[in-house]
Amino acid sequence: MILVLIFIILIILKLYISEVIKNRKNTKDEDFEKKYCDILSENMELKLELEAVKKEYDKQTGMAAEIKSLNKKARTLKHDMKNHIMVITSYLNDGEYDEAKNYLSKIADNLNKIYTYIETGNSLLNYIINTKLQLAMEKGIDVKAEIENLSFDQIGSVDFSALLNNLLDNAIEASLNTNNKEMVVNILRKRGYDTILVKNKIGKSVLKDNPNLISTKKNKEEHGYGLKHIKALVDKYEGMLDIYEEDNFFCVYVVYPH
């Protein structure tokens, strides 16, 4: 009887020890899993911070290169102007006034093709506006712009970049499909609101033929994402979006409360 009792006690003890070991193992596994998740989360945060720093570096590098290029063009223009003045003076001295007028007209045309850097006081706005408008002019689009120094600090910088890039890309792309290539960009404060107006010339009504602005491109989902993204970014910051046509222009007007 005593032997049986001892045997039962040993079995109970064995089971108890096994359970203790199992619980410790589970606790270790849980601790390990928690530490792994913490490390993974930290790495994700570091990765996002690194990407943000890289984007800022790329932006600053792009701006520096752009300013350097514009300075180089300005020096070249200054040098060329001396030669142009000498040629015009020669025409005038010889009484060849029509030739002087034609020569001046050609110089004016060339000056119109040279992009002038826009300084707004907002580095992000500077970079986007100057990059896109210079691209537009290089593609033969006549650009008219009126830009005020607005911070748009009510909008996240990533969202603001996505919004403005989409607006300008859409206008540039649409302008390339018309004979009269013209764009207007106004970024102004009106009655306490920060406003963005981007217009591009159209040969015929877009809204009449396509009121829902459904893409006619092969990759409709990707092409339509731009307008959907614009609407989402406007709604996200409680802004207003108006799409209309006026004087043969397709207009996208965005308003944000300041």
Question: What are 21-68's pLDDT values in tens digits?
Answer: 555 555 545 565 666 566 666 666 666 666 666 665 565 566 566 666
Question: What are 67-120's pLDDT values in tens digits?
Answer: 666 666 666 766 777 788 888 888 888 888 888 888 888 877 766 665 666 777
Q: For residue 172, what pLDDT is reported? A: 95
Domain ranges of the chain: 1-114, 119-258
Mean pLDDT of 12-16: 56
Q: Measured between alpha carbons, how far is 172 from 185 in angstroms, rounded to an integer? A: 11
- Architecture per CATH, domain 119-258, reads as 2-Layer Sandwich (3.30)
239: closest CA among 173, 165, 171, 159? 159
Whether 28 contacts 21, CB under 8 Å: no
